Structure 1
Amino acid sequence: MKIGALLPRSTFHPLLHHDFLQGIQAYLQYQQIKADMLTGNIGYGTDADLIAAEAEKMLLENRVDLLIIYADQDTVKKTADLAKALNRLIILVHSGAKYIHDWEPHPAVLSHTLNHTIQCRLTGLYAGKLAPQAAVCTSYYDGGYSHSHTMTEAYIKHGGAIAYNYVSQYKVKDFDTTPLRQFLQTNSDVQTLLALFNGDLAHCFLQQLQESEAAQHLQIFGSPMLLDETLTTTYGTLQLPFRIIGYVPWVSTLNNHQNQLLKTQFQQYTGRDANLPGMHGWSTGIMLGHIYHTTDTHQFRAKDILTAFYDVTLDSPRGHLRMDPDTHHMIAPAYLVQTNEAHEPEVTGSTALTLQIWQEIVQEQSNMAPSSGWINTYLCA
């Protein structure tokens, strides 16, 4: 099996594409799957012509059997149509922080995302049950993606009211939570935040907020990246007087066989602990392994692979992975976590009803007017 992979850069998470790729490689090596892996660089994933040119090399010159692209839907349509003409499969991977695109589903594309819009909707619904009003807090960058809308929309529809909006700058040197802290001091009845941040912005937000006078009374409902368990190991310790609650796609402490296998094999292969991009890569490897072992039934024809996936359930570190036949998106369970003082997440619940949530998102989004947002793949900026 010959696999092509077009991978992005990320300023927020410099090892993102390395960890993702090594997750795939670790799985293929462990399963002794004979595969050649060819890689190409697509910058920040914003140039559709660059992606198309690199894909053309992979598909026509290198004649890969299938192509993995780490990019959002906005820049992949031209490439997807080329793959359709060749009847070759594209596995499109990203965080799932945007709504489904108007060209999806596509007869040559299988999307394997981290389902961030699903988790943010679940978090918004959960917050709506517990808090009558909240302040929405996000960065200029994080706020430009659909996950922000789906969290706040779910919160409002479940009875919550937005009392304040705080939007930070997207660089740490300019980061200042003073307006938010002043609002909280003068509006003591608002003690709930809906917060969406990632990377150094997430750490800076929590670090400044933990020093505010209102901190000990706060409850925060966060996006998956705000709950990323590697924040403290990457950016420094935290001592939080509040708890952060939210749904996430995965945490390293999940107690299932595939997760234990991931942690062991990723450590052996890379010398580093498994993380979210590594898990995403490993789970992509599981999909590749299934395709590899069923080659006789599809001969790498995209249409036949997708048809076969209709009835397939794969065990992954996230739990069961299944394809939604209506959108060609892989869907997995979501886990409710709560952090302690040191920002360590503990799983307090889970739901396997994520397909239903996804279908609600797709249905509601199809009735919405066009909206604007960043064309960057989330985290690739």
Structure 2
Amino acid sequence: MKTGILLPRSTTHPLIAFNFMDGLHAYLKQHQITNEIECVSAFIGFGEKAAVIQEEAERLLMEQRVDLLVVFADYPLVNCLFPIVAALNKLLIVVNHGAKYPDRWTTVPNVIHHHLNNASNCWLTGKQAAAENKTVATVNSYYDGGYSITHALYTSFLEASGKIAYNFVGHQQKAQFSTQPLTSFLYSRPELDTLLAILSGELVPEFYDQLSRQYPDRKLKLYASPVLLEESSAEENLFSKETIEVSGFTTWFKELDNHENETFCRIFTEETNRVPNSFGVLGWDTGLILRTILEISGNKAIDGKRVAKDPALKKLQGAKGEMLLHEETGHYLSPAHYLHSNLADHSRKKHSLSMEEVEKSFNEMIQFKLEGISSQWLNTYLCS
């Protein structure tokens, strides 16, 4: 089974493609199917140009004669591939962190969506924050703020009767990033101790470092997006300030206690000498999807439209835990875990939500109608 894979580049996260492919190859090697699933890759830049994505996809389909496509890219740019895979009856697997809403939530023929549910986890985190706090300040960057995770986190908080007292949006470049406006506000409102935060990359340690120096004396509660949760616990980002408590829902974290995740973390570390990460787990579980497709199709040509609806793909057990293919949207959902930690400690799981609870919240989020003008970046989240 020849698989074409369209991969992104990133300046702030330069190992996105490497980690994804290392996770994928680790899975294929672990299950001894490397020779049965051939991977042919191409790069699509930051994933912000539809023409580049379409050209590379067509090259893989026409010149390399691939049986199916995997694209690590985001909405709305991936939409450009939907007509060609439908016309050729090929299968397309769209992979990303789940930080953007699609143009429409309804299923698309021949397309499966596999991601880390970032927006739906932010929706859950916003509701959790509102249940525990009445008023917050928000923290974002000019870059991170252009994605649907911001809408999901803030809207679910407001819908649950929370109130936002202050919005802080910092520069996307570390050299120009300053928390001074935020700390000035916090000093003016000593009773307010809660933040809703979405940051990534080099801004994560910079944010904690500046906050520690400018606002050293009081305990703060920070409700975080999944990427901020993961990167807050990275060894190079840790800052030993125990007065900041970080909480939030996420689909995956290294200490997730299921056999498949333990196997992924062990094999990924052995194969790469790097710490397991969310890009790698996306690759590993994409390997699981490809293996299932291989078993469905046997030695026959892949019927993309039929395979996308095959019952064997409905429910899988990956490193993220159960993967349920949501019938109305074609998006894989996984259990959500509520983490809580001080910065100096590893994240500790407080509780997990069942698939029924996750699906209920996801259905609530996708029914929310966007109104007015909305703005978002075209590039794939974290590909900056």
SS in 2 for 1:373: coil
In the superposition, relative to structure 1, how do residues 215 and 321 fare at CA in structure 2: closer, same or farther (>3 Å)?
farther
Q: How many angstroms apart in 1 are the aligned matches of 2:360 and 2:151?
A: 18
Q: Is contact 2:110–2:304 with CA below 8 Å preserved after alignment? A: yes
The aligned length equals 380
Tell me what 1:5 maps to: 5
Contact 1:229/1:343 (8 A) holds in 2: no
What is the rounded CA distance, in whole Å, between the counterparts of 1:331 and 1:187 in structure 2? 39
The runs of 4+ residues in structure 1 deviating greater than 6 Å are: none
Partners of 2:137 and 2:333 in 1: how far apart? 30
Q: Tell me, in whole angstroms, the C-alpha distance in 2 between the residues paired with 1:61 and 1:370.
A: 41
TM-score by length of 1: 0.95
Deviation at 1:78, TM superposition (A): 2.1
Distance 1:103 1:126, change over 3 A: closer
**Matched residues, percent identical?**
35
Q: CA deviation at 1:311?
A: 6.3
SS of 1:57 mapped into structure 2: helix
Structure 2, gaps ≥5 residues long:
none
Matched, 1:372 2:375: yes
Q: Name the stretch that deviates more: 96-105 or 259-268.
A: 96-105
Deviation at 1:102, TM superposition (A): 2.8
3-state secondary structure, aligned to 1:210: helix
In structure 2, the residue matched to 1:260 is 262
Question: Once the two structures are superposed, what CA deviation does each residue of 1:172-206 show, in whole Å capped at 9, x if it has no partner?
Answer: 01111001001000111211100100111122112
1:44–1:376 Cα contact (<8 Å) kept: yes
Deviation of the 1:344 alpha carbon = 2.1
Change (3 A) 1:183 1:228: same
- Determine the C-alpha separation between the residues in 2 that align with 1:154 and 1:230: 23
Residues 112, 330 of structure 2: 8 Å contact kept: yes
| Structure 1: gaps of 5 or more residues | none
- 1:114-193 equivalence runs, <5 A: 114-193=116-195
CA distance in 2: counterparts of 1:258 and 1:304, whole angstroms: 28
Letter in structure 1 aligned against 2:25: Q
Q: Which residue of 1 aligns with 2:272?
A: 270
Letter in 2 for 1:321: M
- Counterpart amino acid of residue 378 in structure 2: I
Equivalent residue letter for 1:167: V
Match for residue 38 of structure 2?
Answer: 36
* Contact 1:169-1:175 at 8 Å conserved across structures: yes
Q: How many angstroms apart in 2 are the aligned matches of 1:186 and 1:214?
A: 15
- For residue 349 of structure 1, give the secondary structure of its aligned residue in structure 2: strand
1:48 aligns with 2:82: no
Alpha-carbon distance in 2 for matches of 1:49, 1:234: 37
TM-score in terms of structure 2 length: 0.95
Q: Deviations over 1:39-74 (max 9, x none)?
A: 001000001011000000111211111111011121
Closer, same or farther in 2 for the Cα pair 1:229/1:141, shift >3 Å?
closer
Please tell me the root mean square deviation across aligned C-alpha atoms, in Å. Answer: 1.8
Determine the structure 2 residue equivalent to 1:307. 309
Q: Deviations for 1:269-301, whole angstroms, at most 9, x for unmatched residues?
A: 222231111111101111111111121497311
